[in-house]
Structure formats: structure tokens, C-alpha cells
Chains A and B, each alone.
Chain A
Amino acid sequence: MASSTGPSRRQTWRTRLYRWDSKGSPYAFVAPFFLVFAAFGLFPLLYTGWLSLHQVSLYNVRSSRWIGLRNYTDLFTGPPSRFFWNALRNTITLGALSTVPQLLIALGLAHLLNYRLRGRAFLRTALLAPYATSVAAATLVFALIFSPEGGMANWLLGLAGFGPVDWEAGRWTSQFAIALIVTWRWTGYNALIYLAAMQAVPGELYEAAAIDGANRWRQFWHVTVPALRPTILFTVVVSTIGATQLFGEPFLFGGQSGHQGGAANQYETLGVLMYDQGFRNSMLGRASAIAWTMFALLLLLGLVNTLIARQLRRAR
């Protein structure tokens, strides 16, 4: 526009400013994310690794002592190894107990919600309501429901003719109860994710399947599920990551008696163990080693997921 009249000094200045603005502003816009992430995400992650090679006290964080891989060898074979392997095992069993039923139920629910329904909005909101509750509130309510004295769960068992169960004391009973809290909070959330993906499946696929004589069950199995594969993989990854980090539910389930994940650590997860070692026993170095072990576990799970996904794609 300005070129026909010849650039005056003011215009070149403005042009320069304009060019500077359009060149620089993208970086200015993305900078906050990267700066904050570098300071409070990346740096701490690396620093955790560094700390895991030190002996650091919670009360005197400035004086740390280099001890090499001692925290790790202690964890895997030393005195705390009993707790570590126990917590690892609990993390895996609790993760499986909460993730598998949660995703299967969510898939079934999404299928049902995909029918033409009255009261659809109400049903969706009701299913998602647990998502709005916090770990703390949900865990406290379920701790009361599974309370050995006068708890709702034992009352129902009594009605069905069974004797009371000390839910918190047993390894499997307590893990079942905790898995139920996780399942309660997240099933509706996953169901809605599946529902959205289901509604994007082209109707023609069902049409073709119907013409080929597939009944509803076979349509679900041979049309819906394959079309949902990427979404299912996404939810598997997200819930696996969530399960690996399980903390609030086992931390609060036992109340004051269950700080270490139960009197016999029967539901202590790696997350609880990390908190316990770092912030109760004041061994921040060891807690960091647990954190990095969890990181390794997550990377391993990610690798397994990728391999499974590739296998699925090939099978298709």
C-alpha cells in the first residue's frame, strides 16, 4: 500500500516495527509455557534424578551428601526393599483392579448411552458427577461405607446373609475397596470419551454389517470396537499412567491407622511409599529414587503400549 508513494521515514519505522512484531510475537506467545515448564516441570524432573544419588534430609535440604546408587540398591535389595517390592506389587494389582473393570464398564455404558434415549442429558450428568468430586472427599465417603463398624458395605452383606468383612485389614478386600473408589470416580468420564468416539463412527459401516447379517452384538464387536481402537488405546494409556501414580485413595483410605497404606502395608502403593519415605521419614534422596523408578516403570509401560498398538495395527 505504501510502496506507490515511496516510503517516508515514519513508514519505514512502522514497517520495521510491524516486521519485528510479526517475527517476534509467536515466540513471545509460546514463551510463557516453555519458561514455566522448564522451571517447574523439566528442571525438577532432572533434579529428582540428581537428588536420587544423594542423601538429603527433609529438614536440612541444603546439606546433601553424594552416595551414588545407594538409594537404588537399598530400595531393590537393602532393608527398605521389603516395602519397595510390596508397594510395586500393590501398585500393579491395584492398577489392574481399577483400570480393567473401569474401562470395560465404560465401554459397555457408552454403548448403552449411544441408543436413542430419553433423559440422556440427566444420565450423562449423573455418570459424570463422580468426576467432579475430589480424591479426598470420595475416599472419605468410601472409607465410611467400608468401615468395619456399621459400614454400608457390611450391612448389605448382612442382608445377603454373609458375615461382616474387615475390609481395611485384608490385602484383597482393601485393594478391592480402593479400586472401587477409582472406578467410581473415572468410569463415567471414560464412558463419555468412548461415547464421543462412537458417535463419530460412520453409519454406513453398521449398514454394511447389518446387510451382511451381523446382529447387534457382532456389530458392536466387529464395527464399534475396531473403530474405537485409537480411543481405547488413549484411555488405556491415560488410566495406566493414573494407576501408576495412585496416591490419594490408598493414602486416605485407612484414616490415621493407614498412613503407610494399611497396618501391614497391604495397600501401600509406590506413590504412598514415596511420600512416606520422603515426607515422613525425611529421606528425600530415597523418595527421589522411588520417583525415578516410577518414571522408568512409566517408560516401560509406554513401550509396552506402543508395541501392543503396533501389533494391533498389524492385526488389522
Chain B
Amino acid sequence: MDRTAHLPRAAGVNRAGRPSRTAGVNRAGRPSRAAGVNRAGRQHHAGPLTYLVLILVALVSLFPLYWTLVAASTDAHRVVSSPPPLVPGGNLFKNLGYVWRNAGGRGMGVALLNSTLVAGSVTLGTTGFSLLAGFAFAKLRFAGRGVLMGLVVATLAVPAQLSVVPLFILMRRLGLGNHLGALVLPTLVTAFGVFFMRQYLVQALPTELLEAARTDGANSLRVVWHVVLPIARPALAVLGMLTFVQSWNDFLWPIIAMNGATNPTVQVALAGLGTGWSTDWSVIMAGALIGTLPLLLVFLIFGKHIVGGITQGAVKG
């Protein structure tokens, strides 16, 4: 973050290219409201009813997560009894320990490690390749640029689901059946990532800076490393987090590629808990808790940036 400190505040990730939004936030509380003119909807103070509705919705959003914890701390009988438990019981660590050792064949610990490896590699690949391609599309002139960028946007519309059957065959032939590499390779690049980085760099990367570096005799890779990367860092962080969340939560392809794997990711292990012989819901919920907690923690720490990334990427998409 230090290296980007020289950038104007408006170049921050949440605000890049969206001056009106910054203005809107800042404008709140300016005297125009006091003058009695009913300006923007955002300038009204929220009434009690608004708070009531929003708090209710927040509770509905959070309750299933809380209830996962409650259910995970009960036992097979208590979890499906009526009235249902509403406060945590005493079996949390027993249940966690059980899934930790048994889920997915080799335990939840291995599954967590696998998911981290996969999501980490995908994140690294996606951010790196998106940075390179986004930079080229944003600031470099080359023949066919427009056509190629059009192709990137077009590939946004191709859903992954249509390719799973051949991918399955392809991975078998590559010797990657039930291998974690099969999960990494197909998602190593995303059109969204390229698009996202391009949009950011068009705004945030001063062309003069590039020209200066080129005049000093820096080659392209040095320019990327010493000029583009430091400036792109905030956007890379957002893209990285979005990619990590998506890769971690990916379901369809892992469940096909890791069909019957003894070395599953978290989602495959969770699906095994849900569809397996075990109907002890307290144990299943313990698994769900382990599968959800790491991301939820990341989310609580970086939540603001993720919010910024979603809004920025989406509105421009």
C-alpha cells in the first residue's frame, strides 16, 4: 500500500473512475439539505422503519450462519428436536474433531489444505495473467487489439457448465483424473479478470509514467514489474479476493473432476457429508462450519474491499 500512497485518493479501488460516487458520498451532509431542498434520496436520514427492515434483513442474512454454529454444537438427536436449539450446546469440539478426522476420507484438514492450494494457485494465475493482459489492453498499442478485447468480452458469456464433459475426458487423458491440477488449469484465467484489470489500469496508470520508463530504457517486463504492478496493487488485491472466494466455493467442476476422490477439496468433502450415509446433522453442520469459517474470516477482515470490488467490477461489467 505504501507504494501507492502518492496516488490521489480518488484512484482508490472503490472510487477509480467513479468520481460521481465519491462526490455523492462527500456531498451528504452539505448545507443544501438544510436549505430544505429535497435533493438526492441518499441525503434523507433513514427513519426507524428503514432501520427495522434493514436490521431484520441483516438478521436473516446472518441467522443461517449462526445456526450452523448452534447445530454443529449439538448431537444427532438434539439437532432435529422440536423446538430446535437456539443457543450453542456442548458438543462443538467433539463434532468438529469427528469431521476433522473423517470427512472426505482423509479428513477436513487435508480438504482445507487442498482447497487452499487450489484457490491459491488459481488466484495467483488469474491475477498475474489478468495484470499482463489488462495492461496490454489498457495501455499498449498493437494490431488486433480491438478484436482481441472483443473476444475477451465475448468469452465472458460462455458458461463453464457447457464444457465439463470434455474437460473430464481431457483431464483423464492428461493423467489428471482426481488430481488437484485438474481444478486449477481450466480456471487459471478469467475474462472477468482481464476486463477488470483493463478498466482499472486505463484510469489509474498515467501514460506519461510509462513513457518515462520506456525512455529510460526499461524493457516491457521491467515496466510491468516496477511501474504497473505497484499501481495495480489495490485492484489486484480486490481481484485476488474475488477470485479466491469464487474458486474456494466452486462446486460443479470439482465434484465432477474429483469424482470419488480420496483427496477432495472442502466442497467435495462437504457434498460427501450431505449425500453420504451419515445423517447426523450435527456432524454435517460441523463440516459446513469448517468449510465456511475460513472464507468468512477473510471476508470480515477484507469485507470493505470485497464490497468495493463487487460494485466496481459489476457496474462496469
Residues of B within 8 A of A26 (CB): 136, 140-142, 145
Residues of B within 8 A of A152 (CB): 67, 84
**B202 contacts A by Cβ under 8 Å:** no
Of the residues B167, B285, B311, contact of A40 by C-beta under 8 Å? B167
Residue interface mask B54-78, A partner, CB < 8 A = 1: 1101101110110110010000000
Chain A: number of interface residues, binned into ranges: 35 or more
- For this complex, 22 residue pairs linking A to B, each with C-beta atoms less than 8 Å apart, are A18-B219, A23-B142, A29-B136, A33-B191, A40-B163, A40-B188, A116-B29, A116-B46, A124-B307, A125-B303, A128-B307, A129-B62, A129-B299, A134-B251, A137-B270, A150-B81, A192-B307, A192-B311, A196-B314, A200-B21, A256-B277, A278-B165
A27, B142: Cβ atoms closer than 8 Å: yes
A114, B275: Cβ atoms closer than 8 Å: no
CB distance from A93 to the nearest CB of B (A): 19
CB distance from B153 to the nearest CB of A (A): 12
- Roughly how many angstroms separate A77 CA and B26 CA in the complex, as a whole number? 62
Residue interface mask A140-153, B partner, CB < 8 A = 1: 11111101011110
Q: In chain A, residues 264-284, which have Cβ atoms closer than 8 Å to a Cβ of chain B?
A: 271, 274-275, 278-279, 284
A33, B64: Cβ atoms closer than 8 Å: no
Residues of A within 8 A of B252 (CB): 245, 247-248, 271, 275
Question: What 6 A-B pairs come out closest when comparing CB atoms?
Answer: A150-B80, A196-B311, A44-B163, A25-B220, A210-B38, A115-B46
Given contacts A43-B166, A45-B162, A288-B165, contact A115 B44 (CB under 8 A): yes
Residues of A within 8 A of B255 (CB): 251, 275
**A202 contacts B by Cβ under 8 Å:** yes
Of the residues A134, A192, A220, contact of B249 by C-beta under 8 Å? A134
- Roughly how many angstroms separate A212 CA and B135 CA in the complex, as a whole number? 47
- Residues of chain A touching chain B, judged by Cβ–Cβ distance below 8 Å, are 18, 21-23, 25-30, 32-34, 36-37, 40-45, 47-48, 51, 61, 109, 111-117, 121-145, 147, 149-152, 154-155, 158, 184, 188-189, 192-193, 195-203, 206-207, 210-211, 216, 219-220, 224, 231, 234-235, 241, 244-245, 247-248, 251-252, 255-256, 259, 271, 274-275, 278-279, 284, 287-288, 291-292, 294-295, 298, 302
In the complex, how many residue pairs between chain A and chain B have their CB atoms under 8 Å apart?
352
CB distance from A106 to the nearest CB of B (A): 10
Chain B's interface: helix, strand, loop or mixed, by majority?
Answer: helix
Residue interface mask B80-104, A partner, CB < 8 A = 1: 1111100000000000000000000
- Roughly how many angstroms separate A32 CA and B188 CA in the complex, as a whole number? 9
Residues of A within 8 A of B44 (CB): 115-116, 216
Of the residues A112, A140, A271, contact of B288 by C-beta under 8 Å? A140
**B276 contacts A by Cβ under 8 Å:** yes
B169, A61: Cβ atoms closer than 8 Å: yes
Residue interface mask B140-159, A partner, CB < 8 A = 1: 11100100100110010111
B50, A40: Cβ atoms closer than 8 Å: no
Interface size on B, residues (CB 8 A): 122
Given contacts A34-B148, A192-B311, contact A291 B161 (CB under 8 A): yes
- Roughly how many angstroms separate A284 CA and B164 CA in the complex, as a whole number? 10
- Roughly how many angstroms separate A197 CA and B312 CA in the complex, as a whole number? 9
CB distance from B304 to the nearest CB of A (A): 7
A134, B292: Cβ atoms closer than 8 Å: yes
Residues of A within 8 A of B161 (CB): 245, 247, 271, 274, 291, 294
